Structures are given as structure tokens and as C-alpha cells.
Amino acid sequence: MAPEADLLVARFLGHLGNERRLSEHTRRAYERDLAQFRDWARDADVADWHSVEPAHVKAFAAARFRRGISPRSISRALSALRAFYRYLLREREVTRNPADGVSAPRATKRLPGTLDSDTMARLLDIKGDEPLTRRDRAMLELLYSSGLRLAEIVGLNIGDIDLADRTVRVTGKGSKQRIVPVGRKAIAAMRDWLAARGNLAGDTQAVFVAQHGRRIGTRSVQRRVAHWARQQGIDARVHPHLFRHSCATHVLESSRDLRGVQELLGHADIATTQIYTHLDFQHLAQIYDEAHPRAKRRRD
């Protein structure tokens, strides 16, 4: 691009600061993103901003992706380019916006973290008879046993628990209710906690209460989970949702029942549940590499 192309960028940046009142930090982000496209366009022999075609914008996005730039950063750069061309259209400097309709490469879906069954068993091996220790043991057992979300376990009321039937009624996203099974060890931990709960709970209906007697909060659950991970010597970042991921993965590994895991987790769309098949495949691939005669690596 010719040096004159920078004048239009300077006018646009002035518009962001003077008319749109955007912060200096945001203005500099626009400036960096536009500079990256300008430098790429110069190397691609694009004469000026009027000469930019949608194909150029797509090629720019692809080139950034090949360099290892994250899809999120590429998306932000494309957003800056679209905003710049909207300004140029308003100023009658161009007749079209070549960045319209161009999207960043799709981000690779991050697989949720999990703990293996042995590590989870070590984490749940919580000793002690103090009321709050009983509460924490029951919370963690229930998180893992039934794959509950953090908000779901905090929102549980006494009437939601059926110890005889070994089930719990959960109110999930969109106020949708589901009934999920509770494992034997979680039931035992719940019985133990409920026997001590009356000394703390007062007249609240919450299953899990804090020391002051009111319903426990989400931050408190997060802190208690992190506390017990440290206490049990777990060398990983442990958070409540990790129990849900681990529960789903372990059930799927054993049952191969994707629909069952969908119902357990309360996913409206099975596509959400299918991410656990990728985790299961990773586990299978690891076992294959270690066990198959044609896959095992030679030992030095």
C-alpha cells in the first residue's frame, strides 16, 4: 500500500477518539490490527484501501492462522477492519466493505479437564467428623457422583433429596428440572452430613449451608474444593466443574451410553455431550499406543 493509506487510518483513529470517545487502550488495539493488515497488504502488492477485495481479507486471515495466531485475535483484527471500512463508507472514500462476511477460522474446541478415577478417589478420601468437614465431603461426593453444576448443588433444597430412592432433583439451566441418580458413597456422605446439618441450618431449606447457617455461596464451594485439593496433595487446578467433567468421562468410558450421559448432565443438545467422546477417544488412543504390538514405541 502507498504511504497515503496511513492518512485514512489516522483519520479513523481520530474519529474513534474524538467522536466515539473510545479509550486510548481500545484505539491502540484498532491501530495495531489495522497496521497488521496494512503491512500484509503491502507485501501482497495491494495498491490502496480502495483495491482491497474480500479475497484479500480471507487470505490475510488464513495467513495469520498459519502463523499460529489464535482465531480470537484474527476475529478481533477482522472486526477492526470492518469498522474501519464502515467509517470509509460514511466518508465516501470507498463504495463497499470487503471485510463484510469474512470470518476467522474456527477455534479448536478446548477439551474440558478431568481427573482420573484414582486421583478422584484420593481427593474424596476426606477424613474428619467436624460438621463442616462432613458437609464438604458430601458436597464433593455429590458433585462427582451426579455431575452437578456449581449453581445446581448450591441451589439444592432438602425436598430435592430422596435418600431411599438414591436420587436428587436438580434445577438446571433455564429452570429445567431433572432427576439424577446418586451413588452409594455419596448417599453415605449425605446421610452423615444431614445428621449434623441441623446444628447449623436453622430454618433454611438449603441442603448445604455455611457456618453462619445460611445457604452456602458459589465462591465458598470453590474455595472449599481448592482447599481439599491442596490438603489431599492433588497437583492440579481443581474446581467444581472438574467433578462434572470427570463424572461424565468416567461414566462414558464404562457405559458407552452417550444419551445416558446427556440426560445425567442435563444437556439440551447431544452435541454438547459429544465433547466427552473426544476425551474418551484420547484415553483409548493412549491405551492403544501403550498396548498394541504395532503401536508400542521401542525402548532404548
Q: Quick check: is 241 catalytic?
A: yes
Query: Choosing from 42, 239, 241, 283, which is the catalytic residue?
Result: 241
Of 3.30.70, 1.10.150, 2.60.40, 2.40.160, the CATH number of 5-90 is 1.10.150
Q: Quick check: is 276 catalytic?
A: yes
Half-sphere exposure of 194 (CA within 13 A, CB side): 16
User: What gap in Å lies between CA 84 and CA 91, rounded to an integer?
Assistant: 11
Query: Choosing from 173, 184, 227, 256, which is the catalytic residue?
Result: 173
- Reported as a single tens digit per residue, the pLDDT across 147-201 is 898 999 999 999 999 999 999 998 887 788 888 888 899 999 999 999 999 888 8
Residues of the chain with CATH 1.10.150: 5-90
Q: Quick check: is 106 catalytic?
A: no
Q: Quick check: is 237 catalytic?
A: no
Cα angle: 278, vertex 282, 284; to 5 degrees: 110
Q: Which positions ≥6 away from 88 have C-beta within 8 Å?
A: 8, 12, 49, 94
Looking at per-residue pLDDT, the higher value among 251 and 89 belongs to 89
Strands 167-171 and 177-181: antiparallel
Look at residue 101 in the predicted model and tell me its pLDDT. 87
Average the pLDDT over each of 59-73, 185-199, 267-281 and give the range with the smallest value. Answer: 267-281
* Averaged pLDDT for residues 97-113: 75
Query: Choosing from 149, 197, 224, 250, which is the catalytic residue?
Result: 149
Look at residue 196 in the predicted model and tell me its pLDDT. 93
Q: Quick check: is 267 catalytic?
A: yes
Residues of the chain with CATH 1.10.443.10: 117-240
pTM of the model: 0.56
CB 46 within 8 A of CB 56: yes
Look at residue 300 in the predicted model and tell me its pLDDT. 43
| pLDDT at residue 141 is higher than 90 | yes
Query: Choosing from 276, 278, 298, 299, which is the catalytic residue?
Result: 276
Q: Does domain 117-240 have CATH number 1.10.443.10?
A: yes
Longest Cα separation, the chain: 78
Query: Choosing from 134, 244, 245, 250, which is the catalytic residue?
Result: 244
Look at residue 66 in the predicted model and tell me its pLDDT. 84
